[in-house]
Chains A and B, each alone.
Chain A
Amino acid sequence: MTQLPTHTEKKLGLVIDLDTCVGCHACVVSCKGWNTENYGAPLSDQDPYGADPTGTFLNRVHSYEVQPDQGVAQLIHFPKSCLHCDDAPCVTVCPTGASYKRVEDGIVLVNESDCIGCGLCAWACPYGAREMDADQGVMKKCTLCVDRIYNENLPEEDRQPACVRTCPSNARHFGDLADSESDVSKLVAERGGIDLMPEQGTKPVNKYLPPRPKDTWDQIDILAPLLDPVAEEPKGFLGWLDKTLEKL
């Protein structure tokens, strides 16, 4: 059903730490791996070894340069997957009911056997979180690894989304954002987690933790006055070479 639930019991989602993400794309690879081998249509590639490779991914890592008014630019790696919005516009536009938001945990899913591949839901998502699979003609999106998180065949520590389990720098956290006592909610409160494109009114469940403030440059200068000045004029052989070359 494409009517959104008025309330979901849980709001399962991700908290992504832009301070610690190192941009290694490990989450991209593990996501592609898990979601190709498991639930639903595999994430196909077109012309994978050719001149013009493309493919379906549910998670992608952008990199941005941010230039503050003062000081040096910062490089920020920015993983992006479905934010499992509370007010998910992708769900309500779907003509077939293939797209839906689960009442029990708030996960936004696509029932692939109902999807006609009209692409309207991808148009409705502001974040580019949905990609049509070119091979199967059905819409693919992050499932929050619904086939891992409740999977009792997996060891306890593996019952989290593949991206979270994989991230080597602990930049991705998974939990219930409706529960203010959960680790993820505390993390969001502590670090001032934010919504992406709040003006779009999608009320995303996933939150992003902004990069911590960087050290400032003047700290580097504390010891500078105590240091011997570096020789400004070359001496010895280099000095001689310098002068000789100058004369030529």
Chain B
Amino acid sequence: MHPAPSIILFTVLSGLGFGLLFWLGLGFPPVTGFSAFAFFTIAYLLAIGGLISSTFHLGNPQRALKAFTQWQTSWLSREAWLSVFALTFMGLYAIGAVFFATRIAPLGWIGSALALATVYATSMIYGQLKTVPRWNHPTTPALFLLLSVSGGALLAGQVTYAIGLLALSGVLQAVVWYLGDQRFAERGTTMETATGLGNIGQVTAFEPPHTGTNYLLKEMVHVVGRKHSRKLRIISLALMVVLPVLLLLLPFSHALAAVAVLSHLAGVLASRWLFFAEAEHVVGLYYGIR
């Protein structure tokens, strides 16, 4: 799949933002007043910045509100609703914490749950697609959620939780890559099933329908850059998990924590880039490409 920068930024930033909101809602750290204002501002900038960047890839963003209508079947629509609910509940909770120095705990809990639900809905936009076997698996939402919660813990300064969760994300990420590499073959969609010509013999693409490229190839048969994917996986794991954990294990300082956050962010961006670039859509089979 084409790794569109707007979608990569959206999923990573809003994942981090909702992850931070999750911790703030639970009272980790139990901030009020000015420090609460600082924390909530960062969380909202990330979450909303992500949502706004997601509209950049729309063909007709002026109609974006229509995306709220089909929540009964569409994960994209559910995500729209859940993000609004999460931001509203957390907003009320934040007002209490910032201006009245009171944390209304139940509001925070609901907000935290909604923040996670939003990340889940985002991940299911991809996880639901049977056409992309690498994504179509429960580990897709699991990794999105875990990365969001780990990144949130890092931003919320929850060092102990962050170390454990980051380590866990590292393991899950490795499992996701390992299983993902095999899933296309496991699902059994081949050029033979795509064309129905398998009982005659082995099918090869002789001539594509068009001499140039087209929307399908640009959007769904993105094969550029995959050759470096092994190296990128290592870089991504190192930045996303190993370096932040090492930095957190050192005696705490704000500078080191800031480096840990930036390193984690860069690592998740690399991982999300791979998430798209390595994903193979079955339509490629019609072109003899995966």
List residues of B (110-148) whose CB comes within 8 Å of A's CBs.
125, 128-132
Chain A positions within 8 Å of B129 at CB level: 89, 93, 123-124
Which of these, A89, A138, A198, contacts B131 with CB under 8 Å? A89
List residues of A (47-77) whose CB comes within 8 Å of B's CBs.
52-57, 60-69, 73-76
Chain B positions within 8 Å of A68 at CB level: 200-201
Chain A positions within 8 Å of B72 at CB level: 2-3
Interface string of B210-221 (1 = CB under 8 A from A): 111111100110
Which of these, B68, B199, B207, contacts A62 with CB under 8 Å? B207
Q: B66: CB under 8 A from chain A? A: yes
Interface string of B151-179 (1 = CB under 8 A from A): 00000000000000000000000000000
Which of these, B61, B187, B203, B220, contacts A116 with CB under 8 Å? B61
- Evaluate contact between B206 and A64: CB separation under 8 angstroms: yes
Q: How many A-B residue pairs have CB under 8 A?
A: 199
Q: How far apart sit A15 and B208, CA to CA, in the bound complex (Å)?
A: 21
Q: B188: CB under 8 A from chain A? A: yes
How many A residues have CB within 8 A of the partner chain? 70
Distance between A192 CB and nearest chain B CB, rounded to angstroms: 10
List residues of A (163-208) whose CB comes within 8 Å of B's CBs.
194-201, 208
Which of these, A3, A97, A118, A131, contacts B215 with CB under 8 Å? A131
- Evaluate contact between A120 and B196: CB separation under 8 angstroms: no
Distance between A3 CB and nearest chain B CB, rounded to angstroms: 6
Q: How far apart sit A61 and B211, CA to CA, in the bound complex (Å)?
A: 12
Q: B194: CB under 8 A from chain A? A: yes
Q: How far apart sit A66 and B197, CA to CA, in the bound complex (Å)?
A: 7
Query: What are the nearest 8 A-B pairs in CB distance?
Result: A117-B59, A137-B59, A60-B209, A68-B201, A95-B76, A128-B283, A95-B67, A95-B77
A residues contacting B by CB (< 8 A) are 1-3, 18, 25, 28, 52-57, 60-69, 73-76, 78, 80, 89, 91-98, 114-120, 122-128, 131-134, 136-139, 194-201, 208, 210-211
